[in-house]
Amino acid sequence: MDSSRWVAIQDKETMKTLVIHEMRKQFFNAPLENYILTFDDALYSQYYYWTLIKKIKAPKIFFVATNLIGHGEKREQFSEEHKEFPSCYESLASYRDTGNKENYMRLSELKEMVNEGAILGAHGHNHTKFFDGNLFAQTNKARADIEDMVNWFSRNFKFVPNEFAFPHYEEHWFLKIMLKDYGFKKFHGGERIEIEKEEDILPFL
Ligand SMILES: [Zn+2]
């Protein structure tokens, strides 16, 4: 069943929202179906475990930092073998230092997931910690990042998501105002619970 159907079945108002970065084997022992699941950064581990993630009966939104997405053939997915992946911090540092995108999904992989019910959300183009300089410089950089992100979605998916998760959970009022201009309607900041910090899940992890 595609995940949008579960949104209708479950009482979305009372459900807490979890945020997951790198996917871990032990997360599958937790009662994930009791939450709205959000996945940040489009890390490869999320694609690797997609065959398991897609079976979870909960909404699943993937917040993509569009410039981190690579190209090429689809890679290996879970086939009974659990793997460990670098943390989101290590992946971002490696990308920043060397341009390495291998810890992130490829476009071909992300498209497969969307075809199979993954909901797309936006997470900036460069995953920038917004932003340096005076307010004028900050808003210019933010607008350029949003435009690159919106163009990427239009080019590759023929639509633009309407949900946005702030990189590093940093909510900026000017960024929010601009995003609304581009049709974004729902914003996610620090109100989401990192899976590692959710009390009700800890006994299972
Ligand atoms: Zn992020």
pLDDT tens by residue, 37-92: 999 999 999 999 999 999 999 999 999 999 999 999 999 999 999 999 999 999 99
For the full predicted model, state whether its pTM sits above 0.85. Answer: yes
The distance between the two most distant Cα atoms of the chain, rounded to a whole number of Å, is: 52
Rounded distance from Cα 124 to ligand 1 centre (Å): 9
Residues contacting residue 88 through CB under 8 Å, at least 6 positions apart: 21, 22, 40, 41, 43
Rounded distance from Cα 88 to ligand 1 centre (Å): 8
Rounded distance from Cα 40 to ligand 1 centre (Å): 5
Average pLDDT, the chain: 92
> Which structural domains are found in the chain, ordered by start?
3-204 (3.20.20.370)
Of 56, 103, 110, the residue nearest 84 (C-alpha): 103
pLDDT (tens digit per residue) in 155-183: 999 999 999 999 988 888 888 999 999 99
Rounded distance from Cα 92 to ligand 1 centre (Å): 9
Rounded distance from Cα 96 to ligand 1 centre (Å): 13
H-assigned helices in 66-191: 88-98, 107-115, 135-157, 173-181
Rounded distance from Cα 191 to ligand 1 centre (Å): 14
pLDDT (tens digit per residue) in 106-158: 999 999 999 999 999 999 999 987 677 888 888 899 999 999 999 999 999 99
- The DSSP secondary structure of 30-53, one letter per residue, reads S-GGGSEEEEETTBHHHHHTHHHH
